[in-house]
Homo-oligomer: A and B are copies of this chain.
Amino acid sequence: MAVIDPDRLFPADPSTRTIARELYAHVRDLPLLSPHGHVDPRMLAEDQQLPAPAALFVSPDHYLTRMLFSQGVHPRSLGVPDRAGKVHVSDREAWRTFCENWYLFRGTPSRGWLEQSLTEIFGVSTPLGPGTADQVYDELTERISAPEFRPRALLKRFGLEVLATTDAATGDLSHHAKLASELSGVRVIPTFRPDAVTDPSRPDWLSSVESLGSLTGDDVGTWAGYLDALARRREEFKAAGATATDHGVPTAQTADLDAGSAARLYDWLRVAATSEEGVSPKDAELFRAQMLTEMARMSVDDGLVMQLHPGSLRNHNRALYDELGLDVGGDIPMPTDYVNGLRPLLDRFGNDPRLRLVLFTLDETSYSRELAPLAGVYPALYLGPAWWFYDSPEGMRRFRELTTETAGFYNTVGFTDDTRAFPSIPVRHDVARRVDCAFLARLVAEHRLPADEAAETAVDLAYNLPKRAYRLEGE
């Protein structure tokens, strides 16, 4: 893949490209803010050597494994462990299988991320392919074993200012404490993700709630105690550096029950969860809906930024899930209704400047029809960047084209990377910066925005907006 072209992702028209280059020069070397992601804090706390190439790049990356599976390459042959944790191929074999099928990723963001990571982060410029699998494998193995490729060395080299992880409400914050005491120049902070204790449709809901109660000392047998435990736990996350919560939900439905009804629903769900029939989908939906509003209320109190990631139908591919478990590629988007769904929450807190609710979507039809109009009127609402399947050059372009005219740039939070692939973080940001500069360059070239304001906006999108939106200014 040779060296990455300096004009990558810029429009081909020479005058627009020149403008894009100039804008990009303003943002290229800005520090990175990663206020939402899925890096394992233990890896950083222990400064573990990165895993072998396939285990680093291939098997944990569901973008790669789902595409390969769709073309008949089983995840097992890529080193994805089965439910018992057993891996069935050597790392080198997995890497070879991946390289043989490299052509499948033409036109995908995965190709771009990997190419640019290998070249710019690992200095491996041999083009990928069946013929070069072993050579690249050996080069990578050598790099990985070098001290400058340890996680903490990379953290520094990447210019990361803040890296947020995503953590269960009952999660262990000791890694974060260690990191806070040992690192300087970068904050690695947790994010409060309470899905396991707020979604009664999960088989482990009740046990997760009990764990939460044990952790905080609250009586989670009552609605009041359950809410207290959540509030207390949020405070502990905040003390550990957290500035945000995150909520993964099937729909964007919210509810605003009176306290008595909410308590009765909670009591009933504790009974239903242990009954033979289990929790009904309708009751679970209502409880999740109510809990979003409760979380918003707590955010008003404690200032944690609330993130909402709705609209994924998890584990659509039943056989794949049965064999391999969560996150191996069977999640599929669904149509998502924000306009009616969010209304109960917004009626209570939508105009409250203390709440900051960042919305994501897997349903692009909502960009111009629902999300931009909502974010363009409610003070509490912000738009998260193009997410998941749309965290890609075309997806990001559509996001700007479809939201800017109604919501502007300043109701968006700039870029957050949402990756679990630690070494690809700088590349993800670089792609976003390039695509945003390309969009701004078009506005300049079409005389819709002066160049100086475009440059200021580019810097805001890359740095100032995420800093402000996620309240990362202070310590």
Give chain A's interface residues, CB within 8 Å of chain B.
1, 4-5, 7-16, 66-67, 69-72, 103-109, 112, 313, 316-320, 329-335, 337, 339-340, 343, 346-347, 350-351, 353, 362-365, 368-370, 372-379, 381, 389-390, 392-395, 400-402, 404-411, 442-443, 445-450, 453-454, 456-457
CB contact between A67 and one of B16, B334, B408 (< 8 Å): that residue:
B408
Given the contacts A109-B405, A363-B369, A377 and B70 also touching, CB distance less than 8 Å: yes
User: In the complex the two chains form, is A407's CB within 8 Å of B370's CB?
Assistant: no
Cβ of A96 to closest chain B Cβ, rounded Å: 19
User: In the complex the two chains form, is B389's CB within 8 Å of A67's CB?
Assistant: no
Q: Inside 8 A of A404's CB, which chain B residues have their CB? A: 107-108, 394
What is the bound-complex CA distance between A405 and B431, given in angstroms?
A: 14
Copies, count? 3
Q: Inside 8 A of A364's CB, which chain B residues have their CB? A: 365, 368-369
User: In the complex the two chains form, is A105's CB within 8 Å of B69's CB?
Assistant: no
CB contact between A12 and one of B109, B365, B442 (< 8 Å): that residue:
B442
Given the contacts A8-B448, A16-B12, A364-B368, A108 and B408 also touching, CB distance less than 8 Å: yes
User: In the complex the two chains form, is B332's CB within 8 Å of A107's CB?
Assistant: no
User: In the complex the two chains form, is B373's CB within 8 Å of A449's CB?
Assistant: no
What is the bound-complex CA distance between A456 and B375, given in angstroms?
A: 40
Closest B residue to A101 by CB, please name it: B410
User: In the complex the two chains form, is B339's CB within 8 Å of A369's CB?
Assistant: no
What is the bound-complex CA distance between A330 and B374, given in angstroms?
A: 8
Cβ of A135 to closest chain B Cβ, rounded Å: 18
Q: Inside 8 A of A350's CB, which chain B residues have their CB? A: 317, 319
User: In the complex the two chains form, is B70's CB within 8 Å of A411's CB?
Assistant: yes
Pairs of residues from A and B, 4 with the lowest C-beta to C-beta distance, nearest first: A5-B447, A12-B445, A107-B404, A8-B447
With contacts A70-B377, A331-B373 known, what are 5 further pairs, Cβ within 8 A? Answer: A11-B12, A319-B347, A332-B373, A362-B369, A392-B405
User: In the complex the two chains form, is A106's CB within 8 Å of B453's CB?
Assistant: yes
CB contact between A351 and one of B319, B377, B389 (< 8 Å): that residue:
B319
User: In the complex the two chains form, is B409's CB within 8 Å of A106's CB?
Assistant: yes
User: In the complex the two chains form, is B381's CB within 8 Å of A70's CB?
Assistant: yes
What is the bound-complex CA distance between A409 and B101, given in angstroms?
A: 13
What is the bound-complex CA distance between A243 and B462, given in angstroms?
A: 51
Q: Inside 8 A of A16's CB, which chain B residues have their CB? A: 12
Q: Inside 8 A of A389's CB, which chain B residues have their CB? A: 368, 372-373, 405-406
Q: Inside 8 A of A334's CB, which chain B residues have their CB? A: 339, 369
Provide a sorted-by-A list of 25 A–B residue pairs whose CB atoms are within 8 angstroms. A9-B448, A11-B446, A70-B376, A103-B453, A104-B408, A108-B404, A108-B406, A109-B405, A316-B339, A317-B377, A318-B347, A319-B347, A319-B351, A320-B351, A332-B339, A332-B374, A333-B339, A334-B369, A335-B369, A362-B369, A363-B369, A364-B365, A368-B395, A389-B406, A394-B405
